[in-house]
Amino acid sequence: MAPHGEAIASAYTRTNAFSKPPRLSNGNLHRAKSDLSFELSKETADINLPPISEVEDAKCECCGMSEECTPEYIDRVRNKFLGKWVCGLCSEAVKEEMEKNGGHKEEALNEHMSACARFNKFGRAFPVLSQAEAMREILKKSAIRAKSISPKGAQKMGGIARSSSCIAAITRDMNHLKLKK
């Protein structure tokens, strides 16, 4: 075998076992396209589709968002949520709330509706104050969590607490380390 493939290249000869397909003219392609479109239009005209029911605007009783829905869909949603029409986003929030409270749908729906009412009164009118209130709640929760985790001495100092230091372990390991000369 040659190191750079000279013997392979010279021994290989290309044979034309396959011939190229004949070229189609554009006229044949246009005619085939129009024949197909004619056949497809004939088939769709024969199909009888059921009439589409009218679409209505449904307003969510939680957040106030409106969606276009069929009357059948509106009835199904009302049956699921105790006679109230709830949008898709609020329905997911109610499902999450149900998981938290043990599966009580009415409590979950009332809790979500009251949260939406609070947001619509305060959050939409004063978005900056709403964001500041949310940050205050986050900081309050993190301060409570930090007090429950940290040792008693760290609460007096007001800083971040450590339970132990790793410096002693590192220096002990370094003292036992023998340097090779």
Are the C-beta atoms of residues 155 and 144 closer than 8 Å to each other? no
What DSSP state is assigned to residue 3? T
Question: Does 130 have pLDDT greater than 60?
Answer: yes
Question: Does 177 have pLDDT greater than 90?
Answer: no
Please choose, from the candidates 112, 117, 120, 58, the residue with its C-alpha nearest in 3D space to the C-alpha of residue 85. 58
Q: Whole-structure pTM over 0.75, yes or no?
A: no
Which tens digits make up the pLDDT trace of 2-43? 555 555 555 555 555 667 766 666 666 666 666 667 677 665
Spell out the alpha helix ranges (H) of 47-82.
71-80
Q: How many CA atoms lie within 13 A of 47 on its CB side?
A: 8
Which tens digits make up the pLDDT trace of 32-75? 666 667 677 665 555 676 666 688 899 999 988 999 999 999 99
Token duo for residue 42? 């004939």
